[in-house]
Amino acid sequence: MGVPISQMWTVATYVLSQKLRGRKRYPLVLMLEPLFRCNLACAGCGKIQYPAHILKQQLTPEQCFKAVDECGAPMVSIPGGEPLLHPQIKEIVEGLVARKKYIYLCTNALLLKEKIDLFTPSKYLTFSVHMDGEREHHDFSVCREGGFDIAIEGVKEAVKRGFRVTTNTTLFDGADPVSVRRFFDQMMELGVEGMMLSPGYSYEKAPDQQHFLGKAKTRKLFSLILSNRNQKWHFNQSPLFLEFLMGRRSYECTPWGMPTYNIFGWQKPCYLLQDGYADTFAELLQSTQWQNYGAESGNPKCANCMVHSGYEASAVNDTFSSIRGLLATARATLFGGSYANSSASEELQTSAGAAGGSSHGPVVPLKVSATPIKQREKVSV
């Protein structure tokens, strides 16, 4: 089971309480970005392409706590940038643990072994380690040779010390499903609690604009990866969201489900788009023109999005909106399922044969867009 019972119970009671109050729009996970600077420069990232004076800024612990209290979501994801670069990350995490929030500290793990003594194992703290596939594919994705091996050492150390650890994998066009499935086996052998998956989103600021997945390719890729599933795999996500990625379910986006707070304020309308900012969470909910977002709106920025920050909250809402959704979630959570698919199995075998028995599938290097981008100033941390 990829999510502990205590966390599932907290989320379930929270969602049911929101429904009993008649709230149509409520947050499930707060995306708390305390800084944008990073020690990597991934070609698919849209969060680090800021000028140096922005990259030097960061939220204070007090600003983080105010946002968390104002939002009220039971879970807090701390992405970035690289959160372990924040000089007060220890205080931020301790304050959120004291508030009994389930925290996912997202990290590329390059600094995890060095910084791990700052933290104490807790059921409320999970290190969510960015791992984009097997060694060669991961290193291409993060544009750093040796990044995979350093991250693996960080994962091993955190698991050994009793921390909750999950992996967070973003898949782009060109991902090899055979290699990804092998990667899942490797991660489970390390003893991680579970894995999280999402297709990449085409950030306007991302240097590489050529390898983001459209919806048809997303469904095809995730169906190949997640069909005929190894029962040893555990996912730290809604099983209905994974079925959505496979093309087995259809959802509308709920961008308010994972609101974002960063140095600019409350970001409109979601973690992925930047169409203005609000000073308070209440203002975010009231002033955002929600009808202008999501695939159904016709907004071209939303047309191909199937990212967890827009749709996982939709899947969780589905769980608690009907008996059918609740039973489907319970069945998948308690009993798993292989999602048998003979055509997917045949295609995987063909793909594996085409790889010629090599130790890894085909790797598509991320190419920088022809559009020139200003070279970032060096930032001292």
Divide the 381 residues of the chain into consecutive groups of 10 and give the mean pLDDT of each group. 87 95 96 95 76 95 98 96 97 98 97 98 98 93 92 98 97 90 97 94 50 77 95 94 96 97 97 95 97 94 92 95 91 84 92 57 36 36 36
Report the pLDDT value the prediction gives residue 363, as an integer from 0 to 100: 40
Report the pLDDT value the prediction gives residue 53, as an integer from 0 to 100: 94
Q: What superfamily would CATH give domain 5-354? A: pyruvate-formate lyase- activating enzyme (3.80.30.10)
Distance, CA of 83 to CA of 33 (rounded, Å): 8
Report the pLDDT value the prediction gives residue 214, as an integer from 0 to 100: 75
Helix axes 215-226, 342-354, angle to 10 degrees: 90
Distance, CA of 373 to CA of 350 (rounded, Å): 40
What is the Cα 271 distance to its own chain's centre? 11
One-letter amino acid identity for 115?
K
Report the pLDDT value the prediction gives residue 294, as an integer from 0 to 100: 94
Q: What is the pTM of this model?
A: 0.88
Residue 98, both tokens? 């004291």
Report the pLDDT value the prediction gives residue 334, as an integer from 0 to 100: 81
| Residues paired with residue 171 on neighbouring β-strands, in sequence order | 199
Report the pLDDT value the prediction gives residue 175, as an integer from 0 to 100: 87
Domain residues of the chain, as ranges? 5-354
Report the pLDDT value the prediction gives residue 213, as an integer from 0 to 100: 58
| Residues paired with residue 105 on neighbouring β-strands, in sequence order | 78, 127
Residues found in the chain: 381
For 153, the 3-state DSSP assignment is helix
Cα end-to-end span (Å), the chain: 39
Report the pLDDT value the prediction gives residue 202, as an integer from 0 to 100: 57
Instruction: Of 309, 281, 271, 288, give the one whose Cα is nearest residue 66.
Output: 281
| Residues paired with residue 103 on neighbouring β-strands, in sequence order | 76, 125
From residue 251, give the alpha-carbon distance in Å to each of 170, 219, 235, 242, 329: 20, 13, 20, 12, 15
Residue 131 and residue 170 in contact, taking contact as beta carbons nearer than 8 Å: no
